[in-house]
Structure 1
Amino acid sequence: MSHPKNTTMPLVAQEALLTQAMPIFLTDVGNPESSLLQVCPGKPASEALFLASTLMNSTRGILERLTEGGMGANEIFAVRFLVESSTALVDASLQSVEFGNRQGGAQ
């Protein structure tokens, strides 16, 4: 009778899902090369999604306070930056969550 060989290789379902590079805050709209910051490729998607959730929660808190007292240019910029950062973190994780590391995320 034949026995299956033991392996230490993780199953595809066990592999960590990874981010892909994603620009944040473009200084020239439509030109990804103009970004000052980016999500780094090859980082755990779970960490990126957790950070995105934290940033979005912070944004909600800021907006609740600003609703009471009005918004200035600095507050508008801060909210925009938090939203753009959160969006980039989610977008950088999206393909690896959908397809695994075969078609998305850093290789």
Structure 2
Amino acid sequence: MATHSQKDAYLYKKVITIGTVCELTGLSERQIRYYEKRKLIFPERTERGNRKYSFADVEALMDIANKMEDGMQTSELRKEMQRKEEKRYDTKLRERMIRGQLNAYFNKRD
């Protein structure tokens, strides 16, 4: 049985061209490049320098565009993204610590 991350791996695979992203999101290439320049989105580059995006990037771009439309500034969006990333990191760290404590407890009993 596939784990959650294996099952959703396609979401993060960078295979979509900027033209397709424009079609999916309704954003212009200029807008997408601006969000990249402002460090809100991080496409991969092919050997020829073409940008490649994932489905997760497409969702993020749509979220960014909606928040910008609502009046949010790119600096606010970047701070929000950093807070979310820190929270994810803290959660993963806490999970590893708990697993370590459980392993130590059960290994000590053997």
TM (norm. structure 1) is: 0.30
Where is the helix percentage greater, Structure 1 or Structure 2? 2
Q: TM-score, normalised on structure 2?
A: 0.29
